[in-house]
Chain A
Amino acid sequence: MKNNIEKSIDKTLQLLKKKKVKDGDVIITGSNVLSLKSENKELSEFAKSKTHALGVRVIKDNKVGISFTEDLSDWAIETTIDNAINNSKFSKTNEYVRIESQEEIHLDETTQSEDVDTEHLIEKTFYLEEEVKRRDERAKTPPYNGVQESESHFYLANTHGARCSYKAKNYGCYTSALLNEGDKNSMHFNKRLSKNFNQLDFDELITEVVDTSKNLLTANQIKSGEYLVKFSPDLLSSFFSAFSSLISGKAVMDNVSPWRDKLNEQVMDQRLTMIDSPEYKEALTKYPFDMEGHRRTDISLVEDGILKTFLHNSETSNKLKMKNNNCAFRGPKSPLGVSNSNIIISASSTDNIDNLDYVEILTAQGLHSGINRTSGEISLGVSGRIIKNGEIVGYFKDSTFSGNFFKMLREVHSISDKKEASTDKSFFTPEIIFNELTFAGAI
Chain B
Amino acid sequence: MLDKNIAKEVIDYGLLKGADFVDLFVDQQQFETISVKSSEVENISNGINFGIGIRLIYGTNVLYGYTNSKDKKDLIDVISSLTANKEQKKFESLNDFSFTEHTNRHLVHHGLKNNISLDEKLPFLFSLDREARSLSEKVTQLTAGISQRSQDIEIFNSEGLHTTDTRNYIRLSASVIAEDGNIREEDYFAPGAMMGFEYVNSFDPKNVAEKMVKTALTKLKAIPCPAGKMPVIIDNGFGGVIFHEACGHLLETTSVAKKASVFHDKMGEKIASSVVNAVDDGTLDNYWGSINIDDEGMPTKKTQLIKDGILTSFMVDKLGSMKTGFERTGSARRENYRYAPTSRMRNTYIEAGKDKLEDMIASIDKGIYCKKMGGGSVSPGTGEFNFVARESYLIEDGKIKDCVKGASLIGTGPDTLTKISMVGDNLDFSAGVCGSISGGVNTTVGQPAIKVDEILVGGGK
Using CB atoms and an 8 Å cutoff, list the residues of chain A in contact with chain B: 39-40, 42-53, 55, 65-72, 76, 80, 83, 87, 90-92, 118-119, 140-141, 143, 176, 178, 185-187, 221, 224, 254-256, 258, 333-335, 364-370, 372, 374-375, 377, 379-381, 397-403, 438, 440-441, 443
Contact = CB atoms under 8 A, between A and B. Distances in A.
B353 interface: no
B259, B385, B411, most chain A CB atoms within 10 A = B259
A239 to B, nearest CB: 15
A375 B85 CA distance: 55
A49 B338 CA distance: 8
B408 A379 contact: yes
A89 B377 CA distance: 41
A61 B185 CA distance: 37
A366 B41 contact: no
B244 to A, nearest CB: 13
Contact of A256 (B34, B84, B141): B141
B388 A178 contact: no
Given A333-B45, A365-B376, A381-B386, A50 B67 contact: yes
Contacts of A72: 68
A438 B458 CA distance: 9
A140 B259 contact: yes
Interface in B207-241: 227-229
Contacts of B81: 48
DSSP class of B's interface residues: helix, strand, loop or mixed?
A: strand
A372 B389 CA distance: 11
Contacts of B116: none
B406 interface: yes
A438 B460 contact: yes
Interface of B: 31, 34, 37-38, 40-51, 59-68, 78, 81-82, 84-85, 118-119, 122, 140-141, 177, 183-186, 227-229, 255, 258-260, 262, 338, 340, 374-388, 405-408, 410-412, 456-461
B260 A140 contact: yes
A215 to B, nearest CB: 15
A185 B42 CA distance: 47
B439 to A, nearest CB: 12
Contacts of A65: 44
B458 A380 contact: yes
- Which 6 residue pairs of A and B lie closest in terms of their CB atoms, listed nearest first? A400-B458, A381-B386, A440-B227, A369-B375, A366-B386, A68-B47
A333 B260 CA distance: 36
A379 B409 CA distance: 9
A99 B48 CA distance: 24
A173 to B, nearest CB: 17
A178 B47 contact: no
A90 B387 contact: no
B387 A366 contact: yes
A398 B378 contact: no
A315 B88 CA distance: 58
Contact of A375 (B34, B185, B408): B185
B408 A366 contact: yes
Contacts of A44: 61-62
Given A185-B262, A185-B382, A379 B388 contact: yes
Nearest to A47: B64
Contacts of B38: 254-255
Contacts of B34: 90
Contacts of B229: 443
A45 B50 contact: no
B126 to A, nearest CB: 11
A292 to B, nearest CB: 17
Contacts of B40: 92
Given A90-B44, A140-B259, A187-B381, A71 B50 contact: yes
Nearest to A378: B406
Given A365-B379, A365-B385, A370-B388, A440 B67 contact: no
A42 B459 contact: no
Given A43-B61, A71-B68, A333-B47, A400 B410 contact: yes
B380 to A, nearest CB: 6
Nearest to B375: A369
B395 to A, nearest CB: 18
B456 A398 contact: yes
Contacts of B67: 49-51
A26 B134 CA distance: 40
B459 to A, nearest CB: 6
A23 B304 CA distance: 57
A254 B262 CA distance: 46
B45 A366 contact: no
Contacts of A258: 184
B47 A398 contact: no
Contacts of A380: 386, 408, 458
Nearest to A184: B382
Contact of B46 (A51, A83, A187, A224): A83
A441 B410 CA distance: 10
A141 B388 CA distance: 31
Given A254-B37, A381-B410, 10 more contacts: A44-B61, A51-B68, A90-B119, A92-B40, A256-B177, A367-B377, A368-B377, A372-B405, A375-B184, A398-B411
A51 B50 CA distance: 10
Contact of A70 (B48, B177, B458): B48
Contacts of A364: 386
B376 A369 contact: yes
Given A381-B384, A402-B458, A51 B51 contact: yes
Contacts of A186: 382
A187 B405 CA distance: 30
Contacts of B186: 374
23 contacts: A39-B258, A47-B66, A65-B44, A67-B47, A87-B45, A141-B258, A143-B255, A143-B260, A176-B381, A178-B260, A185-B381, A258-B184, A366-B375, A366-B377, A366-B385, A366-B386, A369-B376, A370-B376, A377-B460, A379-B407, A381-B458, A399-B456, A400-B386
Contacts of A221: 456
Given A118-B84, A254-B141, A255-B140, A90 B118 contact: yes
